[in-house]
Structures are given as C-alpha cells and as structure tokens.
Amino acid sequence: MLYTLIWHSFQLLCLVFAVKEDYLDWEQSGIGRNIIYLLISFVFYTVILFLYESRIVYKVSNLFKGTKSKGKVADLGDMEG
C-alpha cells in the first residue's frame, strides 16, 4: 500500500516536472553529455600527467636541441643551509 502510494507520487512528480526516465539521455535533463565529457577529460589529463611524470616532453625537446641532459636532480638531503 505504502509502496504503491510512493510510486504513484513519484510518477506524478515526473509528469509535472517533465523528468525523463532515461537519465543517461543525451538531450536536455540527461547526464549523457556530462559523462562523456568526464571520460574525455579523464583520458586527456591522465595522458598529460603521464607525459609530465615520465619526462617524455623533456627528452623529446633534448633530442631536437641536440644536447643530452645529465639526468641528475638535486637531492634535498645533499643541501646544507
């Protein structure tokens, strides 16, 4: 009894506010576009992070410059101050 009352109230609210039942819809009031944008952004920023962390951009720029880096990074433990 209570379940059917809640269900019918929900259906009535959906009709009044024109809520689509397919919330993954691509059109307005659906979140399909947002999910696709989220996935594309995730892939894009993950690739940028990977390129930055692996220093691929730095290595490629050194190839074009013709210089080789020494590959040494200052260690904070070596610094005295």
CA-CA distance, 62 to 55, in Å (whole number)? 11
Give per-residue pLDDT as tens, 18-42. 666 666 677 766 778 888 999 999 9
Phi first, then psi: give them for residue 45, nearest 5 degrees. Answer: -70, -30
Q: What pLDDT does residue 58 have?
A: 83
Q: What is the mean pLDDT of residues 4-17?
A: 74
Q: What pLDDT does residue 42 have?
A: 97
The candidate with the shortest Cα–Cα distance to 35, out of 47, 44, 25, 49, is: 25
Written as six digits, the tokens of 12 are 């009535």
pTM, two decimals, is 0.48
